[in-house]
Structure 1
Amino acid sequence: MKTISRIFPLILAAALMPITIARGEEAKPVPPTGKMGFVRLVAAVAQGSGTLKIKIDGSDINPTGYNLGDVTGGLGLKAGTHEVTISREGTEEGTTKVKVENDDTTILIPFAEKVPASDEKPAYWAIRILRLKQLDVPEGKTASFVSVSQTPELKVEMRDPEGKWTPVYVKRLAVAKAAITYPRGYVPLKSKDGNIESIPVAQEGNYVVLLYDDKDGKVQSLNFQDQKFLSAD
């Protein structure tokens, strides 16, 4: 049975320089003509087995699926409303409608949420979809922390070049921003569960740190840089 996922609209600052991370084979839809926008997928479903599958308007955009941590480029779609369904074996699929606007990019972050047991059904994992919208950001380097962890608020610490650790508090399904003072290189991060993936910094722009729970419930992270305008792969 399909579950209509809750949509959590957020504003995500856009970066000035593009970096596309594609750890898995990525779909390459035929670019539509006329007005068009883009959808970008960040796979954060740790629960379940197999690869993550995504369908847009009933069409499977990548039959081989996506692995945890994959970040796609911009998937070009005609401007208008599209139905997106995301599934992974061992979880209940999530479906939502996404309004694609001309020259705009919507970032979709599917993640798993544990649904408590009821009289009719034992506890299970269901896919939810967090939606991020984009805005331009001022010059400089910024870290945008986004949490889909089950923890209501996470404390993440970010180290500066002098070795000082600065706390950043990130509420669940929300964005917290912090300035990056490193000129380039890797910015160390840690959470209550220990060190997490460092932020690779080069050009000015917005660096996104996505916080999620692994299968054991420990906080993990993945990073990517984002910009407002993306070209279809």
Structure 2
Amino acid sequence: MTAHQRFFYMMLLVIPLLVSLFAPQTAVASKMEQKYITKVLNLMAGDWYDTAGNRILWIQNGFINDCRVLAAYDFAGSSSNGAGRFEILESTGTRNLYLTWDIRGTDQDSIKLNDSQMLHHMTKPSFNESIAGIHLGMTSADVAQVLGAPAETRNLSPYVNTYGWYYRSLGIAVTFDANTVDRIILMKGSSASLDRSGLNCENTPYEFAQAYHLKSIPKIDYDDRYSSGGCYSIGGEEYLSFGSRMNHIMLSKYWN
């Protein structure tokens, strides 16, 4: 066999291998066992309302909105704080709902429907703290009614790497998840403050520890300009974090 023939036969072997490596791969959904579906549905049982007070979901005994749950796929996270796709049987056929849930037995329990609508057990969820009249869970329309239309909508880096509303003259920025407020950033130099305590970036970490009965005094980094020393629970599933040199304070629903 000549060198040319050996090369030809070698390519006959290599080409199918390359085709298989680079061919589009079909994603396979992970179907959940019934015991896990039942556990999550029981956790989410009850009525769920949007911010206008409309009942959007009602979940009970293996049904969502009186439609039987046929299957569920691709659960992620934990049983109390997770996400997954639910296949339900409607009168017109099957339908898929993507739900993200955060359920800890508090007034702030929530379900996010199809990544676009935030729902709660209560028509008006309670809140623990606010900044300039803005609190977590408000809609964008609520924020605009209190603060007016934002002068800028942009990425709020380095404070947080996501887009939000920036009120430069007020020294306040707001971010949203499914059209509800999930973070409020109070910047150094702002005349606003946290409404309950009256504190802002001019106050000391010790004053925050005293006002909110924190378990420890917040750690402030005075070397790295935009780092954070962690999140501190102030009750009601709300958290404060502090930028280095106290250049900003963030009120959020996230603990990390």
Give the TM bin, normalised by the shorter chain.
under 0.3
Q: Is the strand fraction higher in 1 or 2?
A: 1
More helix by share: 2
What TM-score comes out, normalization by structure 2 length? 0.26
Which one scores higher on RCO, CA 8 angstroms, separation ≥ 6? 1
Larger radius of gyration: 2
TM superposition score normalised by structure 1: 0.28
